[in-house]
Every structure is written in C-alpha cells, then in structure tokens.
Structure 1
C-alpha cells in the first residue's frame, strides 16, 4: 500500500526533506511487488481548496502510474480505511506493507487501523516534513510507537 505518494510531497517545490531516499525505497518496493504479482493499492489524499494536494491539482496527482489490476483509494481522513472501500480490497488477516507520507499522520493512522483490523503490518518506508522537530526525529518516534503497537518496522520485505 502506497499512502499519499503524491507529487506535492515528493516533487518540488516543497518535497519532504528525505524525498530522494523515500522515493528510491518506494520505487524498489513497488517494482518488486509488481514483479511478484502482489496486489498494490495507491492511497491518495484529497485535500481541500488551497491545500497542496487539492483534488485535481498537480500536487494531488500520484507520483507513480497505476497499472492494470492496481487500485486507487481516495481519502479525506488520515486513516485510509475511514470512509473508503480500502477494507474491501485487503483480504482479512493478510499482511499489509505500507510505504508513504506523512509519518505522523496518514502513515501512522493507517498502520494502526490495519492492526486493529487484524492485519500483520509492515512499515517499509515513510517520510514527513520538519516541524518544531526535524523530520528524522519525528519519523523515528513514529517507528518506535508503531513497533510497540505490533508493526514490523524496516528490514527486507520479502514477497
């Protein structure tokens, strides 16, 4: 599952600080998933008027093309399962591998929601923006929280 891998977060003018690294990890993950025939779901945030990911704007567009058999789930909440058909696309009890943006918002909420639904969850790659704290510190804090909740963080993803 690619969460909010959208132009406004990966491409200029305001990419996340670690955009090159997270993008390389996403490309690798997506390529290997496609080769292995693993189902891929692209989750796209539908921002409001004036937001960097305002629906229909260049920032809203997905970075990666959707190929045959892949799904796009549009959301308006940090939890990609909230108010969407995402749960219908993921078989009960299956493993969910997550990569995307933003660590402390949509990645965190979607991972925790998948855990509550009984999925094994693996966090493969994620990034966020600097805030009062630098982005790397925020990302590591989220990793510790998710690991404590039962998410497998990092490591090689085997398909």
Structure 2
C-alpha cells in the first residue's frame, strides 16, 4: 500500500541501457510501467528518487555522456531527487539513506535496471537498513546470460527478493 511515508526509487534507467544493439529486456514495457508509477506518485505528491549510475572518465556511463543520461521518457522534474552511485548498492557511499531519513521515508517502491545486480543489491540493503520495501515485479529488467534468459533472471529475483520485500505489479499500485 502506498502511504505518505513512501518513495519511488528508479534505479539506473539510463539511455545507455536502451542501445539498439543490446537493449534491456522488454525495455519499452519497462519504461511504460515506470512512467505509470511516476504519474501516480506525482498525483499523490509522493517523492521520487532517481538513482543514476556513474563511471569514471572514459567509461560508457561517464558523467554527462549520452549513455549516462536518465531516459527521457521518465526524466526527472525539479521536485525529484537524483542521486549518483558508483556501485550496485544505491546506498553505498551515497546520500540516499540520509535523504530518505530527512524526508521520513519508511517504505520504498523499487524499480529499475538490472534485476540481478543493482535492483537486487539495493533491495537487500534497504531491508538491512530497516526500510519496508515493495519490489514492482513488472518494473525492473535485465539482460539474459549464456545460462538464463532475461525473463528467467527476472522471475528468479521476483521469487528470491520476497524474503526482503513485498511484491506487486504496477497495475496493483496505480489502481488503488
């Protein structure tokens, strides 16, 4: 349930994740679902936090590079908070925890990229820090590997992360 002490976390939904030669799995649907959540959160005057992965100079996600930019379909507004990170953990060496505490946020809705890396790590860390979390099971994505398809990885994480978060689909959140 979305209440006043809830924030939407959008992890690493950056332009470099949507390249023509290797786009994130079901990227268009991912953007649509996150966009619906953004519209809902803004209509309820609830905070939105964008997490933006940043790499050193010369790397793909170098600050200011086209790949580094948040995808324009879900771009932040002036009222949203953007936090840069350099590791899979959105809390590690960032001001995320302090910003959430300052706003009395106790519940996080988790979305973004990569299900098996940054979303997973942030979900587990949020649990360890005492946040109640909801993983939006159709609003995170990844790429397949040589062993598993992207959908298998997503399904696996939707099951495993139930130890650390509640799970809901986008429609169950925005239609309440």
- Whether TM-score is above 0.5 comes out as yes
Q: Distance between the aligned counterparts of 1:17 and 1:58, measured in 2? A: 20
Q: Distance between the aligned counterparts of 1:66 and 1:30, measured in 2? A: 9
Q: What CA RMSD, in Å, does the superposition of the two structures yield over aligned residues? A: 1.7
Q: How many residues align?
A: 158
Structure 2 counterpart of 1:130 = 144
Taking a change above 3 Å as real, the CA distance of residues 48 and 75 of structure 1, as seen in their structure-2 partners, is same
Structure 2 counterpart of 1:157 = 173
Q: Distance between the aligned counterparts of 1:136 and 1:48, measured in 2? A: 31
Does residue 111 (structure 1) correspond to residue 126 (structure 2)? The answer is: no
Query: Aligned runs of 1:56-135 on 2, under 5 Å?
Result: 56-63=64-71, 64-91=74-101, 94-124=106-136, 125-132=139-146, 133-135=148-150
The TM-score normalised by the length of structure 1 is 0.91
Q: Distance between the aligned counterparts of 1:112 and 1:150, measured in 2? A: 6
Q: Distance between the aligned counterparts of 2:19 and 2:70, measured in 1? A: 11
Structure 2 counterpart of 1:40 = 48
| Offset, 1:49 | 4.6
Paired residue secondary structure (2:116)? helix
Taking a change above 3 Å as real, the CA distance of residues 35 and 11 of structure 1, as seen in their structure-2 partners, is farther
The TM-score normalised by the length of structure 2 is 0.83
Structure 1 counterpart of 2:4 = none
| Offset, 1:96 | 0.2
Q: Distance between the aligned counterparts of 2:80 and 2:55, measured in 1? A: 22
* Equivalent pair of 2:24/2:143 in contact (CA under 8 Å): yes
Unaligned runs of 5+ in 2: 1-8
Deviating more after overlay: 91-100 vs 118-127? 91-100
| Offset, 1:66 | 1.8
Does residue 24 (structure 1) correspond to residue 36 (structure 2)? The answer is: no
| Offset, 1:47 | 2.4
| Offset, 1:82 | 0.1
Unaligned runs of 5+ in 1: none
Q: Distance between the aligned counterparts of 1:128 and 1:93, measured in 2? A: 27
Q: Distance between the aligned counterparts of 2:125 and 2:11, measured in 1? A: 13
Q: Distance between the aligned counterparts of 1:68 and 1:60, measured in 2? A: 18
Structure 2 counterpart of 1:54 = 62
Taking a change above 3 Å as real, the CA distance of residues 50 and 130 of structure 1, as seen in their structure-2 partners, is farther
Q: Distance between the aligned counterparts of 2:164 and 2:52, measured in 1? A: 25
